[in-house]
Amino acid sequence: MITRKEQLLERLTGVHSSRQTYYVELKERVRETQLRNLQLQILNRLSRSIGVDALPEEILRTLESGLKSVLAFERLTLYVRDQNGVRARASLPAVEGADGAGGQGAAEVRLDPRVLEAMGGLHTLLDRDGGVLVPLRVGDNAVGLLEVVTAADRPLAEQDMDFLEQVAVQIAFGLQNSLLFGEVARARQAWEDTFAAVTDVLYVLGSDLAIRQANQAARALFDRNDLVGRRCHALLFGRSDPCPDCPAVRAMRGREPAYQQIRVENRTMDVYTYPLARTGAADADGGAGEDAVGAVVYAKDVTELVRSARFVALGEMAAGVAHELNGPLTAIVGDAQILLRDARRGEAPGPTVELLRDIENSGLRARGIIQNLLAFSQKEQFTFEPVNLNEVARHGLSRVAYQIEKDGINVELDLADPPPVVMGHSPRLEQIVINLLLNARDAMTGREKRSIFVATRGLPTQEAALEIRDTGVGIPPEDLTRIFTPFFTTKPVGQGTGLGLSVSLGIAAAHGGRIEVQSAPGAGAAFSLILPARREESLDPEDSLS
């Protein structure tokens, strides 16, 4: 128990007062230490939680959870700088105008970028009660702002502002990394979208010729989806080693693009290969160079282009051959017809007449082939006139009637009345009829029942149709898509040129029409020539220019 004497001594010497001050200061230092430790924990947690893919609202949510234990605030807002200025990307509690999960408003809150550039420290917002803006900087680059709003009667202390500056450093680095990561991700996505949008074959090879990436067209070419890691020479040609003169190998070795045309499953592909280089490697002479680490392969299917080029060449050749043969063939047919006429008037033996008739028929057949060649080469020009489709059917049939009748084939006509009228070139349309009739005849070789039905009719679609139907063997389904291809034929060698249907389709197309076919194996075939009808519903036979 302290005596009165001791109390008087403490008052005189001030010992009691010093002891009280000591305890107060000690308590304050302990509080400051605890606060600093808590702030360090917040900074550490913030640093660990801000990844390269962190969103602004995630950053702000992490900050809010820790900051509320050391700082009294009413709202946090994170502004991010982009090419359009500075806008609020997240706010807690949510306010209208902030993007992202933190704020649900649609309007953007924008600040003048010049304000951000001019900021050198903490600035009190004049138009907001108790608010401070903390610039988020990485070096000289300002990436955004952190706004901390407090109650008007509870302003931030100096040590609070010091802490917010440290928080700003962590957020700035994390935000910059996030922004850079977003740019890289968007660039990568744009590249992948472009890569996938290419309709031609496109794939990337590593230095070991293994596929690293492939688009949909490449997967279709290789007929599989699991391409990554597989080698193109194994997929295309079943090889265990690279192909001879491989364009990818040449591109990587020569460090320049390479080209090669290859055949893959009856398709012709133009293959362009471009080296992928890594800069910084040294050349053999010690200079700076590039080290090829792979190749980009672009392949285009040029089958149709090559085929078209061949057809153009064949057409030119066919035109030349046809013109060269047309002269002497005309003389042969003409002479045979003169001799046949004279033989019929006189007493020439029967075999002579038959031989002359064979010469005439063979010459006419050869003339038909030449006409097909000329039509295929598209060298002939013709004008359109009103044509009686019934007369086209009759005239075409009369041209080959002998060849059909001698084979014992029955022909039935069902011609429309009034006759359908089209605008066209009668000899060319008759050529279609002749080609279809001869094909029908050949399709019935060896058949017990042999009949050809020829019909014309008007269609409700303002079109006219000429149909030729037979009782032949029919057309296999796999051939239906190829029968109009030039030089495609199912006939034995020497019995067909494969041009008849192709030429017929070309003539029909030149008339604005089409040829439709219906067939099944063993059930015959029906070919329909469909042409635009002339406005007049009919045309008298004597008025026809066919």
Tell me, letter by letter, the H, E, C secondary structure of 115-173.
HHHHCCCCEECCCCCCEEEEEEEECCEEEEEEEEECCCCCCCCHHHHHHHHHHHHHHHH
For residue 531, CA distances in Å to 154, 235, 372, 422, 514 come to 91, 48, 20, 7, 7
Domain 22-185 has CATH 3.30.450.40: yes
The arithmetic mean of pLDDT across residues 283-296, rounded, is 61
Domain 303-381 has CATH 1.10.10: no
Q: Which residues pair with 87 in a beta bridge?
A: 80, 110
Half-sphere exposure of residue 117, counting CA atoms within 13 Å on the CB side?
4
Read off the pLDDT band of 100 (50, 70, 90).
very low
Q: Which of 87, 101, 93, 60 is nearest to 74 (CA)?
A: 93
- Report CA Rg, the chain: 46
Which amino acid, one-letter code, is at 499? L
Q: What is the model's pLDDT at position 125? A: 43
The arithmetic mean of pLDDT across residues 370-375, rounded, is 64
Higher pLDDT, 382 or 379: 382
Share of the chain above pLDDT 70, in %: 66
Q: What is the model's pLDDT at position 458? A: 92
The arithmetic mean of pLDDT across residues 285-296, rounded, is 64
Q: Of 53-62, 119-128, 422-431, 444-453, which range is least confident?
A: 119-128
Contact in structure between 489 and 497 (CB atoms under 8 Å): yes
Q: Of 162-176, 196-210, 237-251, 287-301, which range is least confident?
A: 287-301
Pairing of the two strands 110-111 and 514-519: unpaired
pTM for this entry: 0.42
Over the stretch 9-48, which tens digit does the pLDDT of each residue have?
555 555 555 555 666 666 767 766 766 777 677 777 766 6
pLDDT(106) > 50: no
pLDDT(274) > 80: yes
* Residue 207, burial from CB neighbour count under 10 angstroms (0-12, 13-18, 19+): middle
Over the stretch 208-232, which tens digit does the pLDDT of each residue have?
888 888 888 888 877 777 788 888 8
The domain made up of 382-546 has a fold known as Heat Shock Protein 90 (3.30.565)
User: d(Cα 165, Cα 359) in Å, to the nearest integer?
Assistant: 108
- Tokens representing 484? 């109009």
| Domain positions in the chain | 22-185, 201-301, 303-381, 382-546
Neighbours of 236 (CB within 10 A): 15
Q: Of 66-75, 206-215, 422-431, which range is least confident?
A: 66-75
Q: Of 116-125, 235-244, 389-398, which range is least confident?
A: 116-125
Over the stretch 451-461, which tens digit does the pLDDT of each residue have?
999 999 999 98
Which amino acid, one-letter code, is at 33? T
Q: Of 57-66, 238-247, 351-360, which range is least confident?
A: 351-360
Share of the chain above pLDDT 90, in %: 10
> What is the per-residue burial (b if ≥16 Cβ within 10 Å, else e) of 393-413?
bbbbbebbeebbeeeebebee
Q: What is the model's pLDDT at position 453? A: 94
Q: Which of 337, 325, 327 is nearest to 370 (CA)?
A: 325
The arithmetic mean of pLDDT across residues 495-516, rounded, is 79
Q: What is the 3-state secondary structure (H, E, C) of 192-252?
A: HHHHHHCCCEEEEEECCCEEEEECHHHHHHHCCCCCCCCEHHHHHHCCCCCCCCCHHHHHH
Over the stretch 149-204, which tens digit does the pLDDT of each residue have?
877 667 777 777 777 888 888 788 877 877 788 788 888 888 778 777 788 888 88
Q: What is the model's pLDDT at position 324? A: 64
User: d(Cα 102, Cα 56) in Å, to the nearest integer?
Assistant: 9
Higher pLDDT, 22 or 538: 22
Q: What is the model's pLDDT at position 465? A: 94
Question: 22-185 and 382-546 share one CATH topology?
Answer: no
Q: What is the rounded average pLDDT for all residues in the chain?
A: 74
Q: What is the model's pLDDT at position 457? A: 93
pLDDT(510) > 50: yes
Read off the pLDDT band of 300 (50, 70, 90).
confident
Which amino acid, one-letter code, is at 430? E
What is the Cα 211 distance to its own chain's centre? 20
Q: Of 425-429, 435-439, 488-492, which range is least confident?
A: 488-492
* Ramachandran area for residue 250 (φ above 0: left; ψ -120 to 50: alpha; else beta): alpha
User: d(Cα 531, Cα 546) in Å, to the nearest integer?
Assistant: 16
pLDDT(330) > 50: yes
Q: Of 15-24, 252-261, 498-507, 518-527, which range is least confident?
A: 15-24
Read off the pLDDT band of 286 (50, 70, 90).
very low
Higher pLDDT, 494 or 185: 185
- Location of structure tokens 């009190």: 124
Backbone angles phi and psi of 81, in degrees to 5: -90, 135
* Residue 95, burial from CB neighbour count under 10 angstroms (0-12, 13-18, 19+): middle
Three-state DSSP class for 493?
coil
Sheet holding 267-282, edge to edge: 211-214, 201-206, 288-301, 267-282, 258-264
Domain 201-301 has CATH 3.40.190.170: no
